[in-house]
Amino acid sequence: MSERPDTAVEPEVESEFAELEEGAPRVGIVMGSKSDMPAMEAAAEELKKQGIHHEVRVMSAHRDPDVVAEYARNAKMRGLRVIIAGAGLSAALPGVVAAHTPLPVIGVPLTSSRSVAGGLDALLSIAQMPPGVPVACVGVDSARNAAVLAARILSS
Ligand code: RP5
């Protein structure tokens, strides 16, 4: 058993965690397909401009359901504070992420070559969540606004 009192160890451990956390992403940007990247890049650019650490991942709620669930379940523990999720068509990704995390989720409805009514399909899929599982929904293809909102959430 160590003779060293706990108080001598704790500050060192805490400062190590503080260092680790400094560069860790605070916002996760996820999207349903690589084809969403051009639209979603605006979110990453805005966060970069504001000096907010973030990460960008492609994962589909329909094609990679287990990946999405695992990402969302681990997000808070990994230090993320907000998740921005963009998807087009039957845009399930933001809602599925919200189902697996207590973090605020901002959905970005996206247009794609097969969109119906200019992205109304994705807009309704994201906004019309059931009671108790909210997703904040920005305008169609408004990834930059999602980043601005994420920044406001982080600073509140
Ligand atoms: C959605 O289907 C994606 O978010 C994307 O907007 C749309 C089309 O996906 P791809 O067929 O281009 O992969 O799930």
In order along its 156 residues, the chain shows pLDDT tens digits of: 445 445 444 555 454 444 447 789 999 999 999 999 999 999 999 999 999 999 999 999 999 999 999 999 999 999 999 999 999 999 999 999 999 999 999 999 999 999 999 999 999 999 999 999 999 999 999 999 999 999 999 999
The order of strands in the sheet holding 136-137 is 54-58, 27-31, 82-88, 105-110, 136-137
Look at residue 7 in the predicted model and tell me its pLDDT. Answer: 45
Look at residue 15 in the predicted model and tell me its pLDDT. Answer: 46
Which residue's CA is the nearest one to ligand 1's atom 7?
Answer: 88
Ligand 1 centroid distance, CA of 79 (Å): 28
Ligand 1 centroid distance, CA of 97 (Å): 16
Please enumerate in sequence order all residues whose Cβ is within 8 A of that of 116, keeping only pairs 6 or more positions apart, or say none: 89
Please enumerate in sequence order all residues whose Cβ is within 8 A of that of 114, keeping only pairs 6 or more positions apart, or say none: 88, 89
Atom of ligand 1 nearest to the CA of 34: 13
Q: Ligand 1: which of 29, 36, 56, 67 to mutate, most ligand atoms within 8 Å of CB?
A: 36
- Residues pairing with 87 in the sheet: 109
Are 33 and 68 in contact by the 8 Å Cβ rule? The answer is: no
Closest Cα to residue 59, out of 80, 83, 79, 85?
85
Tokens of 130: 């059931």
Look at residue 9 in the predicted model and tell me its pLDDT. Answer: 47
Look at residue 8 in the predicted model and tell me its pLDDT. Answer: 46
Ligand 1 centroid distance, CA of 155 (Å): 32
Please enumerate in sequence order all residues whose Cβ is within 8 A of that of 84, keeping only pairs 6 or more positions apart, or say none: 27, 28, 29, 30, 40, 43, 105, 106, 108, 143, 146, 147, 150
Ligand 1 centroid distance, CA of 105 (Å): 19
